[in-house]
Amino acid sequence: MNSPPDNPDDPRLSETRAATTPSDNAPPPSVFLKPGTALDHFEIVERLGSGGFGVVYRARDTRLGRTVAIKVLPEDFLRDDERRERFRLEATAASALNHAHICTIHDFVEAEGCHFIVMELVEGRTLHDILADGPLPVSKALDLGTQIASALAEAHGAGILHRDIKGANIVVTAKGQAKILDFGIAKRMEPGGDTTRDARSLTGTGMALGTLTYMSPEQLLGKPIDARSDLFSLGVVLYEMVTGRLPFAGSTPVAVTDALLHEPPRDFGDRPLPPRLKAAIVKLLEKNRDKRYSSAEELREDLESMKERPEGAQAGGRGLRRFSIAAAAAALVALAFAGWLWHRASRTRWVQSTAIPEISRLVAAEDYQRAASLIREARTVQPGDATLEKLWIQSTLEVSIASTPEGADVAIRPFRGSSRGWTPVGRTPMKKLRVPRDFYLWRVEKAGFLPAFEIEPTWSIVHKLRYDIVCRLDRARSVPDDMIHVPGGAFRPAIPGLDSLPQVPIDDFLIDRHEVTNEDFKKFVDAGGYQRSELWREPFSRDGRTIPFAEAAAAFRDGTGRPGPATWELGGFPKGLDKHPVAGVSWYESAAYAAFAGKTLPTVYHWNKAAQTQASLLISPASNFHGAETQPVGDDRISGFGTTDMAGNVKEWCSNESSDGKRFLLGGGFGEPTYMFIDQDAQSPWDRRPNYGFRCVRLASPAPPAATARITAAYRDFSKEKPVSDDLFRAYRGNYVYDKSALNARVEETLTLAEWRQEKVTFDAAYGGERVIAYLFLPKNAAPPYQTIVLFPGSGAIMADRFVLSPYADFIPRSGRALLAPIFKSTFERRDALKDDNPSETTFYRDHMVAWSRDLGRSIDYLETRSDIRRDALAYMGLSWGSQVAPVMLAVEPRFKLAILESGGLDFSRSLPDAEQLNFLSRVHVPTLMINGRYDHFFPVESSQKPFFRLLGTPEADKKYVLYETGHAPPRKEVIRESLDWLDKYLGPVKR
């Protein structure tokens, strides 16, 4: 085998990279490759396991007729340049090695949208699994240690460090041959033996990579490393082989880190071992690398010499002096008491000098899970400590749980955590339970009843001190297996554009667990659903004309003219898509199927209640938005109350009609931005796009009229509104002016990837003593000074916890231009109390608008301090929300030479006059490109987009409006083409 099997419950695996590189805990891909799948000339046979940077499969090389292993990068990582680059480095580094104890790399292939390494198939057990049965005989440990040292000597001689030596990366074959795997974070050493420059070029200054319990002190601290760091890790492995345990222990990552940095290794226990072997292991585990073996070859020679006399394990104890029993006993008592006193004092010092500062840092970083875990450990040393209790309150909140009936078992798991990582917390009713602040999936279950699931926001952004959970359990078999019970109550949708609707009381209801699938819909087709007029209960209307059933039904044909969805052929769905959601269906077809199934389409109230959109921060990233097609329904993409895929996959029709005769379509679908999960959309009920689908609800009683009513969206007639006078505008603009004080800028970290260098910089904000964060992406395929684009993101930034370039504008640095992404107040790492539904007419919103403008100005101030940036070649790029606020940003900031506005328009909600789009739009004069979708419900073409373009103060010859046949998100390739053409036109070609 080439990777350890999945075992999230293994305590050693749970510590992997937890304290140093949380982003390296690679989630499995949402869909594993099935046996028989072809990737280039390789055929998948079976899945073997998950490694640090990919999933490993047994495969058949159809060209050479041999069996190999292939490691495939998970699809979630294809958009992460850092992880993709590490994956490529494994192939590059390990392919240079040819050694009997190193897994051979054959090829690195990109095919069928996958990146994968082709390597030797190594049959056997990992050393990690072998040691689960207990320590090895000394002779076996010496034999394996010699083999591993020999392999490292070969790698180090080729200038390559492994950096993650551990039992899980060593396979032992049936013949006892050790093979080192997984050079996924390998590095080439610089001349002189360390990896200072190369390691930091990929990982960023001060970032440590590896597995915590095996990391050398210098590696843990992110300091320069050399071959002796791998030898430290091998020392840990050797210690494990002869004792069956780790030399540095702790119940939390912080405790393990403290032991690795400050504590000696644990004693070897009672097992008799050769003194030379113990001395060799202690030497490998020295904190100071200068005291370790100088090379793997030196270690190999030493271990080889020990193999000749393994019986020496007993020889070392024969020459001990004899002490009197009384003297020995007295000495032992004294030593024990002294040791107890020393240990107590040491642990107390650890709480005050190490634990409390680390807990405070974790709380400030909103890492409440690790903070709470460390507090629990520190409390065992100093119970009742006032500082610890204060930190406990800050990092947790109080939850009460009630159920009907009572006596149900409650378990939780962090939403981001393993699907098997449930932690029991008690039995209902429970009061004043304290849990770390986080988003949790709660499970409440009782024998004879169906389990209830709920996502509850107990995260810091909620700003609550307590939370109450109340659920009703349904008796087993009282709810169909394919449906979910959702509790009712007073409710209003919590997404923009619908959040102004009245609060409506709704009863408990059932909703389909998954979207309606192709095989489900085929039953409707086979039952003559397209011919049964009694199922088509809504009148057909188009262009103000009522259409007879026969004429309307003729419009609902598949690709071959047969009745069926637009994505079908010959009256059936494509082979292998039976479990995929039906797609390419109109609202009318969806409503007819619901009637056939004895259900209805959900109102926007019922849909939003079931989706739990308040947890969009966690639901959206795990959903099928970035895919190019539908994915099978399943339980791996959880949304509210145990439903799946209410975010992404296919957009879902709701029953409500909009004021212009359209029908609401919520949740977003594949190929759309993740923020569409929490954005309203309404389209013609006749539309049948490839990502349009639905799910149904079953109501115990008719929905309240207010929930089914036609929804009238906010509207303004901008043709009748005028901007303020120039004198008044100058007064408004004065609110945005700030003092040009010192920036005090710092480059916090640098990350070098295949196509660009990324710098994280910070500098003083122009208000409140805050610091602005910004990410600067500098291209590798062009020469400085660079043209630079400054990005203002979409409103999803208000809910996301960190900035990632790929969903936004990674084509900019690829084009040879620099891109600066300021982290504006209230977004990403600088989130605050602002939400996307904050009323725009408030001073609270206006003050934020001023802060965003000042953040933008300070970002340009920073760019002007750099010699590698052209001051005369700055461009503004706004995406959705960034386009909406662009009139204010561009009218106030004169240093931009052009603007690119994607998916923007005039907002129908009103703002205070000194933050109102309309008053700033005519004062924008830079060349401006607008890229929009014709069916954008948020910014409609006639009432929002076109008035925006018409009122824009830019000369007609220097503004361009491009419209595509899409919804809110224009086609990505067209956005790239139009944007680069616009940049070339007004800034000129890049300097290569």
Please report the pLDDT score of residue 496 as a whole number: 63
- Note the pLDDT tens digit of each residue in 526-544: 999 999 999 999 999 988 8
Which of residues 287 and 211 earns the better pLDDT score? 287
pLDDT at 74: 65
> What span, in angstroms and rounded, lies between the C-alpha atoms of 902 and 465?
39
For the chain, give the mean pLDDT: 83
Residue 25's pLDDT is: 33
CA proximity to 853, closest of 825, 818, 827: 825
Q: What is the pLDDT of residues 667-698, one digit of tens each?
A: 999 988 777 787 778 999 999 999 999 999 99
The CA–CA distances, whole Å, from 875 to 67, 492, 915, 970 equal 53, 40, 22, 20
Share of the chain above pLDDT 70, in %: 82
Tokens of residue 937, six digits: 């419900």
Distance of CA 36 to the CA centre of its chain: 30
- C-alpha dihedral, 841 to 843 to 844 to 845, nearest 10°: 40
Instruction: Please tell me the predicted confidence (pLDDT) of residue 373.
Output: 84
- Tell me what the mean pLDDT of segment 599-619 comes to: 87
DSSP 701-714: SPPPHHHHS-B---
Measured between alpha carbons, how far is residue 503 from residues 469, 613, 830 in Å? 20, 16, 31
Q: Cβ of 512: how many Cβ atoms within 10 Å? A: 26
| Residue-level pLDDT at 333 | 55
pLDDT computed for residue 186 by the predictor = 53
State the virtual CA torsion across 837, 394, 746, 799 in degrees, nearest 10. -20
Lowest mean pLDDT, pick from 203-207, 329-333, 503-507: 203-207
Mean pLDDT on 458-467: 48
Q: Which residue has the higher pLDDT, 74 or 982?
A: 982
Instruction: Return the top range by mean pLDDT from 140-154, 604-618, 958-972.
Output: 140-154
Looking at residue 888, what is its pLDDT?
Answer: 97
The Cα-based distances of 642 to 27, 573, 617 in angstroms read 20, 27, 17
Other CB atoms within 10 A of residue 290 CB = 7
Question: Above 80 in pLDDT, residue 238?
Answer: yes
pLDDT tens per residue, range 938-954: 787 888 899 999 999 99
Instruction: For residues 892 and 881, give the distance between their C-alpha atoms in angstroms, rounded to a whole number.
Output: 17
* Average pLDDT of the segment spanning 621-635: 84
Contact criterion met (CB below 8 Å) for 162 and 180: yes
pLDDT band at 121 (very low <50, low <70, confident <90, very high): confident
> pLDDT value at position 549?
94
**230 in Cβ contact with 162 (< 8 Å):** yes
pLDDT per position as a tens digit, 866-883: 999 999 999 999 999 999
> Using 50, 70 and 90 to split pLDDT, how confident is the model at 12?
very low
> For residue range 567-578, what is the model confidence (pLDDT) as tens digits?
999 999 999 999
Percent of residues, the chain, with pLDDT higher than 90: 44
Q: Is residue 199 scored above 80 in pLDDT?
A: no
Q: Is the pLDDT of residue 839 over 70?
A: no
Q: Of 347-361, 448-462, 727-741, which range is least confident?
A: 448-462
**Which range has the top average pLDDT, 401-405, 850-854, 971-975?**
850-854
pLDDT of res. 803: 83
DSSP state string for 376-421 = HHHHHHSTT-HHHHHHHHHHEEEEEEEEESS--EEEEEETTS-TT-
Q: Give the pair of three-digit tokens for residue 227.
A: 């071959």
pLDDT band for 316, please (50, 70, 90 cuts): very low
pLDDT confidence of 398, banded at 50, 70, 90?
confident
Q: Is 709 exposed, middle or buried (0-12, 13-18, 19+ CB in 10 A)?
A: middle
Q: Which of 29-38, 102-111, 701-710 has the lowest mean pLDDT?
A: 29-38
Residue 718 token pair: 């901008």
pLDDT tens-digit series, residues 907-945: 888 889 999 999 999 999 999 999 998 767 678 788 889
pLDDT at 480 over 70: yes
Tell me, rounded to whole angstroms, the distance of Cα 947 from its chain centroid: 37
Question: What are the residues whose beta carbons fall under 8 Å from the beta carbon of 561, sequence distance 6 or more?
Answer: none
Q: How far is CA 714 from the centre of its chain?
A: 34
Of 29-43, 126-140, 750-764, the range with the lowest mean pLDDT is 29-43
Q: Is 322 exposed, middle or buried (0-12, 13-18, 19+ CB in 10 A)?
A: exposed
- Amino acid sitting at position 622: A
Structure confidence at residue 717 (pLDDT): 83
Note the pLDDT tens digit of each residue in 781-803. Answer: 999 999 999 999 988 788 777 78
Q: Which two tokens stand for residue 564?
A: 């069926």
pLDDT at 297 over 60: yes
* d(C-alpha 559, C-alpha 567), whole Å: 7
Instruction: Say what the pLDDT of residue 952 is.
Output: 97
- pLDDT surpassing 60 at residue 164: yes
The pLDDT of residue 311 is above 50: no
pLDDT at res. 77? 56
CA 849 to chain centroid: 28
Per the listing, tokens 């960023």 go with: 204
Question: DSSP of 448-515, one letter per residue?
Answer: TB--EEEEEEESGGG--SEEEEEEEPPBTTSS-TTEEEE--EEE---STTTTTSPPEEE--EEEESSP
Element (H, E) at 697: strand 697-699
Contact 879, 792 (CB under 8 A): yes
